[in-house]
Structure 1
Amino acid sequence: MPPSLRADEEHILYVDNHAWLHAWLRRKLGCAFEAADLAHDTYVRLLASRRLPAPQDSRAYLMQIAKGLVVDLRRHRRIEAAYRESLMLLPEAHWPSAEARAALLETLVEIDAMLDAMPPKVRQTFVLSRFDGLTYTQIADRLRVSVPSVRKYMLKAAQACLTIMAA
C-alpha cells in the first residue's frame, strides 16, 4: 500500500473514531485527562502495530486495545499504591529520592507484567521460591508436582526474567 494511501486511511480512522473512543474512555475512567492520554496511547499502539482494521471493525479493534490499556493503568495504580504504603512504613529520612522511587516503581511494574505473563504453575513456583523462600521439595509438595517439574518451572521463570532484563 502506498504511504500516502495508508496515511489517508489512518487519518480517516482517527477522525471517525477519536471522539467516540475518548467519550468511551472518559466514562470508563471518570477522568477526561486520563481518557485523552489513553485515547492517544491507543492510536500509538495501533499505528505501531502497522495493522489497520477494516472500517466496520474499527471501533471493536480500538476498544480492544483501549481495554488492555485500562487494565494496565489500573494494575499500575495498584502497584503504585502498594509501593506508597510500603514507603509509609519507613521514616521519611530513609525514603529514596524521587528519581529512585520512579525507577523502582517502573521496575515493579515490569516485574508484575513478567509475572502476569507466566503460566500459573511457573508463576507460583517462582513466587514460592524467590519471595517465600521455599525449597524445591517444599514447592513440589505445596503444588503437588515433582521436584523435576519445579526445576523446569524455575528454568522457565528464569528465562522470562532474562528476557525482561535484556529488553
Structure 2
Amino acid sequence: MTEAKQLGADGRDGLNRLYRQYAPWLGRRLRARVGPDAAADVVQETYIRAAPYALADIRHPKAFLLRIAMNLLRDESRREARKNRETEGAPSPEVEAAHQFDHVLLSQVIRSMPPLYRNVFVLNRFGGMTYPEIALTLEISVKTVEWRMARAIEYCASRLDL
C-alpha cells in the first residue's frame, strides 16, 4: 500500500471507476459473511477508507478493497465483543436494586439478632471462620457453636420468611 494522498479530480474519477468496477464483487463477497444490509454498509465504508489512496499506486484493487473490508469487519467484531464483555459484568438496574434491597434487609435482620447468635453467625458467614476456630476465639465448645449457628439460621429464616 502507499501513503495516503489528497484526492484531486483524477483521484475522484479513479475512485468512482474503482467503485463501479468492484463494488458489486465486494458486496457479493461480504453478503455471505454479514448479510445483504450489513454488506452494503461495509462496501460504502470500504470506499470511504479507500478514498485517500491514489488509484495509480494500487496494484491489486480487489485485494486492497477486500483487506479494508475485512479490517472493518474485524474492528466491528472487536467492538461488539468488548461491549458484550462490559455488559455481561454489569447487572441490570432492576437486579442491582433487588440485591441492594436484600442486602439492607439482611443487615437489619442480623443487627436485630441476639448477640449470642450474631457473633457466631458473623464470624462464620462473613469472617470465614470454621466452627473450631470460632470455638477457640469465643472460648466455647464446638457443640455450642453448632447450636448457636443453628439458632442464628432459624432466626434469619423466620425474619426473612424462608
Q: TM-score, normalised by structure 2?
A: 0.49
Highest RCO, 1 vs 2 (Cα 8 Å, sep ≥ 6): 2
Q: Please identify the structure whose Cα radius of gyration is greater.
A: 2
TM-score (norm 1): 0.47
